[in-house]
Amino acid sequence: MTAWQPQPYAGSYSTGYRRRRTKTDWAGITLADAFKSHRLDYFLRLQAQRLFYQAVRKVQKGVAALTGAQVETGFEPKVKPQLGPCYTSYPAPLAAYAAIGLTGFLEFEARVSDQILFAHLEDYLENPAKHDKVRVDHEVYEKMAKIVCWHVQTRLLLEDLWRHPPAFTIELYRLFAASQLGALRSVPDILKAVILFGDLLPDWPEGKLHPLTRHLLTDLSETCAPFLSRLPHTQDHKLLALGMDWVRAVCRCLAPYLPDPESETERLKEPPSLRGRQGGKHSFSPEEEETELSEDIPPLLGPHPPSLFDTGDFKDLVKYLVTIWPKTVQSREDEDLQMLVEFARAVEAAAGQSREWEDMRFDLVELFLKNIFQEGPIKGNPISGQEVCLRLGSEEVGRGEIFDEPLELSDDLPACERLRQESYPITAALRRNLYPSLEEMPETERLRSSGSLDPARLPQADFSEAIFKRYRIRDRADPRGRAVILIACDGSASLSDEEMKMVKILAAAWLNATMRSDIQVLAGLYTSGRVREGVSGPVVRWIFHPRKTPALSRVEAFRALASVPDEGRGAQSDALSLAFMLKEARRLARGKMVYLIVISDCKFNKSFHSGLSGTEEVHAFFQQAYAELSGKLHTTLVALGVSGETGLESLLDKVIPVSDEELTDYQAVAGRISAYVSSCLRERRRWLARC
Amino acid sequence: MSQTKWPDYSWNAWDEGSQHYCVGGNVFPGYYAPPILDLRPVLEPLLETLQEYDGRRCQLEEHGGEIDDLAGITEVLTQKVTIKGWGRDQQVSLANQVALQQALFQASNYTVYLDIRQQENRMPLYYLCRTHHDYWGEYSLIVEDYHLSPRYPLLDERFAKFMHFGHEVYYLRLSPFRKAAAAILAPGHFASSRALDHLLYTAGRNVFQAAWHEDQRLAVVVANHFGLTHFRQAIELLYLCLSGELCDLRRAVNDQLLRFFGEVYPQPAIQAFLRQLPRLEGSIINDLPQQALKLYPRLSRAFSDFLEKEVAWGRQQARVPLYKIIYGNFSRLGFIVSELQEKLNLQEEKETLENESQAIIDDLLSLV
């Protein structure tokens, strides 16, 4: 055995950080890098995410403009950016554009609530069997006609959008959706394949499909072919007429396969059987001799006969098995069905998502995205979980998980400007050298020969030449270093609209007041919300975070603030959120001073499974924070809608109550802030004198 | 440095002489961890369970069965398997993913990973392998496969996607080369596991980390299905020149590495490049990425031209650009490859792309 040899890197053994060259070094950053593996540097991904969200917004504006919406000013998107395709195994550069395309398509759908093809076919869809003069079960035929209509309408919509600027991404989403198409298990699946992706999909190999599926595919393809070939050349105003003809043609094509009118409703639920009909074709009509129940399970990979309608939610395995193995399931006793439930439970436990805090696995995202042209499981901003520990007493430790994400930037520039103007009185009151960090001290210099005349020295002109003066700004560093201001805004549903407005204005004022200073700022809205499909929890949405938000400056942070909803939402976890935000601020401060500004209605919620109330938890949090940051934490609580005491006065440095009456009176609040600033300045002088 | 007394298993070893603990080739001075056990016996019960499960699943998927077979699968999924850990043995089942993963991490010192995927028919698929985390690299490596379920989704066999700290990241799959690499190391004899790991790690760290990239997946999958060998070679060579640390690579080139790219992973372009690299002057090595950067758009353009080609496709034989067919069938390219090859008359376009790729390889090699 040879001795183990260490593998040096770059010629020497080193524990220092060094990264190898990567593609981004020579190819730059594209929006395809936005949601790539977390091996890619966070700041590179952040740049890519800025590109991605800009592209999403551009497409959303493009499709909104098609609907006649005002997009130049005050544009508010109707749907969140869809990130699902970016978390699949589809190549990242294509997936990013597919995600943008899906967002664009859903934005268009959300703005055009009218189902235009449904509206034009209203009479027909009421009783299509009567219109088409076909002998089928009316209920089934009507339901099927609506499914056909939906698919044709979607195809027309795609064609219409294809002719406009955002089309490229929407077409890429169609290609992505075609790629996700799975086994053809139902008639809607077959309709989807033929109508939406007929030009893309290959001929299915012999033997892979059930004869009924194959017949349906053949007939439907032949029926749809002339419409698909005419589609690209049809003028916009004639698309609707084409669509109406298309729906009728497809319905008539399906009719021979559907159950007869004399079939009972219950019989429709039974599985399709094979029956010679119309020249050897097959249909969904049940026949007595073939409805015998079987104990055999057909091969899972098929070929299965298609079901009339969809096989249901992919999450419900039992329901799914009942759909694909109907005869098997119906033939069993209750105890055997229990066995089936146990099987489903074991399979789900073995194959499902094991940890909620992890990203959704790509195979599960792909299963979800088989519901095409619909919202996916991952949308908005990528969100990540953090664990927080907080000492609640001498022995008790609270542990919790909290999620954080950046707030998206609003494009509503007039709203940003309004916010700036409304916050001006408070900004003016705050815009003093409030937080000692790098001070800009104006100093007067007495001069002999130049500068402005100094009135104070003019009387001395007879015996002194120093009658001129000039000003110089001298920077004087705070001996305690570059401070961090953390603005923690409560965004929960307990806040009234007025209180929420005041939260925004105060946060804007603080952001504005510190804009030209050398102080670092963190601002976040803490509340609760949806983390991902089926998971919700406490969330911190960063308005401005130097390392986490797309806003590069505090001016841009106004755009994030403008996108804060006008009403409170969710239930906040105060102690948990404040502890997490303070942890982030301490990381930035690196041992320097942290000024914490909490803007809340002081209706504190419980965060941990402890015997303490919400207020007691917050109290415990501040006690611990002051103990850990001895002398390096200064807390101001702005208590909205509070006239009396909050109970935290003795603990915090300053509590500014803003009563209900003052909530809309910004001048009064500015007055209170002025008084507060004066007290801070006095306090600061005392500190500096000591330093 | 003294010899390690731990079993000849992997790079994970505590070296008493230097007081260093080595995990997957990285050295942690002064850090002590207990010795690694030989993993084969540790994983044996789990491997048996996985094989039994896959056998029953494939039977059910391909031939069907009776409802009692479901009970059999339930039993396999929920039966307890013993995994010998450091301190104690752990009883885990396939149905308890979290405990199973933790037991594997504990037994293997975070080197063995079990990846689970759910098929469209809801049944789980497994990939059990040993990984190596490369701290400085963009990707980690898979160095040994223990179990790979039939139909486990690997669109591009060079990559597998695993969960790492809550996020899915790509790993480079070097494990398929293990058997062939053994033949290089010890022809006709048993090659030690550590020596094999070392060879894979050297190739991975110096060549594959740069030559393979997840953004190539589309082009490489297309190249594989259309038989575009030169195109694939050109892609990998260009990426190697652009992302590789060529000075490090120059020092790492030896006979084993050259044979690796001739016999284990036949890549004539990279092999020719590696053969010439040790003789190159520093100034030429410095210029190489610049020159490669000029060739990269040329290859991209050639591939774009190939994808833009309109072909008659589908039941209606309508004219469709090739990229739409590929993007729209990306997940099932393997199933339609024969149709793609037979029905699409792309010989001319393929030749154009291959010639351009070969020209790019020649241009690049002429620089060295």
Spell out which residues of chain A touch residue B153, defining contact as CB-CB under 8 Å: 89, 363
Task: Give the pLDDT confidence score for residue A630 in this predicted structure.
Answer: 79
Would you state the structure tokens that stand for residue B88, as one six-digit string? 């104690």
Chain B: residue whose CA lies nearest to A208: B335
d(CA A22, CA B138) in angstroms, rounded, equals: 7
Among B194, B243, B295, which would you mutate to test the A interface (most chain A Cβ atoms within 10 Å of its Cβ)? B243
Please check whether residue A180 touches B, CB under 8 A: yes
How remote is the C-alpha of B133 from its chain's centroid? 13
Substitution target in B77, B296, B337 with the highest count of A β-carbons within 10 Å is: B77
Q: What is the 3-state secondary structure (H, E, C) of A121-176?
A: CHHHHHCHHHHHCCCCCHHHHHHHHHHHHHHHHHHHHHHHHHCCCCHHHHHHHHHH
Report the DSSP beta bridge partners of residue B311. B320
The DSSP H or E segment spanning B66 is: strand B65-66
Query: Which of A 425-484 lie inside 8 A of B, CB atoms?
Result: none
Answer yes or no: do A203 and B314 touch at CB < 8 A.
yes
Residue among B197, B119, B131, B201 at smallest CA distance from B160: B131
Crossing angle (nearest 10°) for helices B39-63 and B67-78 = 160
Contact A472, A584 (CB under 8 A): no
**Structural contact between residues B231 and B346, judged by C-beta atoms closer than 8 angstroms:** no
pLDDT at site B357: 97
Interchain pair A317, B118: CB under 8 A: no
Task: Tell me A655's DSSP state.
Answer: E
Contact B214 A36 (CB under 8 A): yes
**Which of A20, A91, A339 is closest, CB to CB, to B209?**
A20
d(CA A165, CA B34): 62
The residue of chain B nearest to residue A40, with distances taken between CA atoms, is: B138
Select the residue of A13, A342, A354 nearest B27 (Cβ to Cβ): A13
Q: Which two tokens stand for residue A253?
A: 């094509």
Q: Which residue of B has its CA nearest to A24?
A: B243
User: From CA A175, how far away is CA B326, in angstroms rounded?
Assistant: 9
Q: Would you call A92 and B214 a contact, using CB atoms and an 8 Å cutoff? A: yes
Query: Which of B174, B364, B200 is CA-nearest to residue B277?
Result: B364
Q: B162 CB contacts (<8 Å, ≥6 apart)?
A: B113, B115, B131, B168, B169, B171
Cα–Cα distance measured from residue B368 to residue B361, given in angstroms and rounded to the nearest whole number: 11
A window 279-318, beta carbon within 8 A of B: 295-301, 314, 317
Residue B144 forms beta bridges with which residues?
Answer: B130
Q: Which residue has the higher pLDDT, A593 or B356?
A: B356
- Check pLDDT > 90 for residue B362: yes
Do B167 and A359 lie within an 8 Å CB cutoff? Answer: yes
Q: Are the beta carbons of A367 and B239 separated by less than 8 Å?
A: no
Q: Cis peptide before A128, with omega less than 30 degrees from 0?
A: no
- DSSP assignments along A563-582, one per residue: TS-SS--S---HHHHHHHHH
Contact between chains at B64 and A348 (C-beta distance less than 8 A)? no
Interface check for A230 against chain B (CB to CB < 8 A): the answer is no
Q: CB of A551 within 8 A of CB of A397?
A: no
Over residues B252-263, the pLDDT tens digits come to: 999 999 999 999
Maximum distance among all alpha carbons in chain B?
A: 73
| HEC readout, B213-264 | CHHHHHHHHHHHHHCCHHHHHHHHHHHHHHHCCHHHHHHHCCHHHHHHHHHH
Mean pLDDT of B170-174: 95
Contacts of A6 in chain B (CB under 8 A): 1, 20, 22, 27
The pair of three-digit structure tokens given for residue B5, joined into one six-digit string: 């007394």
Residues of A in contact with B8 (CB under 8 A): 1
Please name the residue of chain B whose CA is at the shortest distance from the CA of residue A349.
B95
Written as six digits, the tokens of B340 are: 């793609």
Question: For testing the chain A interface, which of B330, B332, B341 should be mutated: the one with the most A CBs within 10 Å?
Answer: B330
Whether residues A301 and B101 touch (CB distance < 8 A) is answered with: no
Which of B124, B209, B329 lies at the smallest CB-CB distance from A202? Answer: B329
Ramachandran angles phi, psi of A207, nearest 5°: 90, -20
B109 contacts B10 by C-beta, under 8 angstroms: no
**The predicted structure's pLDDT at residue B30:** 42
3-class secondary structure, A9: strand
Strands (E) across A231-328 are located at 296-297
ipTM, interface predicted TM-score of the complex: 0.89
Residue A93 touches partner B, C-beta closer than 8 Å: yes
A2, A17, A30, A37: best mutation site toward chain B, by most B Cβ within 10 Å?
A: A37
**Could you tell me the pTM of the whole model?**
0.76
Report which of A155, A184, A175 is spatially closest to residue B333, judged by C-alpha positions: A175
Inter-chain CB pairs, A–B, below 8 Å: 255
Please state, in angstroms and as integers, the Cα–Cα distance from residue A294 to each residue in A285, A649, B65, following that order: 18, 75, 11
**Is the pLDDT score of B131 beyond 70?**
yes
- In DSSP terms, A538 is beta-bridged to A528
d(CA A561, CA A487) in angstroms, rounded, equals: 12
- Among B7, B10, B4, smallest CA distance to B143 is for B10
What is the nearest CA distance from B264 to chain A, expressed in angstroms? 22
Confidence of residue B65 (pLDDT cuts 50, 70, 90): confident
Q: Considering only CB atoms, which chain B residues are within 8 Å of A225?
A: 315-316
Classified as helix, coil or strand, B149 is coil
User: Are A355 and B161 in contact (CB < 8 Å)?
Assistant: no
Using a CB-CB distance cutoff of 8 angstroms, which residues of chain B are in contact with residue A90? 330-331
Q: What is the pLDDT of residue B6?
A: 38
Nearest to A572 by CA among A657, A493, A655, A486: A493
* B330/A90 CB distance under 8 A: yes
Using an 8 Å CB-CB cutoff, list chain A residues near B213. Answer: 23
Q: Band of the pLDDT at B368, cuts 50, 70, 90?
A: confident
Nearest one of A513, A691, A674, A659 to A595, comparing CA atoms: A513
Q: pLDDT tens digits for B306-340?
A: 999 988 887 777 888 999 999 999 988 887 777 77
* CA pair distance B89, A359, nearest whole angstrom: 30
Closest CA to B139 of B121, B158, B166, B113: B158
Q: Give mean pLDDT, residues B119-124.
A: 89
User: Could you report the average pLDDT of every consecutive run of 10 residues in chain A (691 residues)?
Assistant: 35 45 88 80 81 90 87 81 93 94 92 82 87 85 92 91 81 94 87 91 75 88 89 87 93 88 52 42 50 65 80 60 61 68 89 82 91 86 74 76 82 82 81 55 66 75 73 63 84 87 87 77 88 76 85 81 85 90 88 87 86 88 89 88 85 87 79 73 59 46
Residue A276 in tokens: 């010679």
Whole-angstrom Cα distance, residue A344 to residue A285?
Answer: 30
Q: At what angle do helices A92-111 and A42-66 cross, to 10 degrees?
A: 30
Of A15, A296, A299, the CB nearest to B62: A299
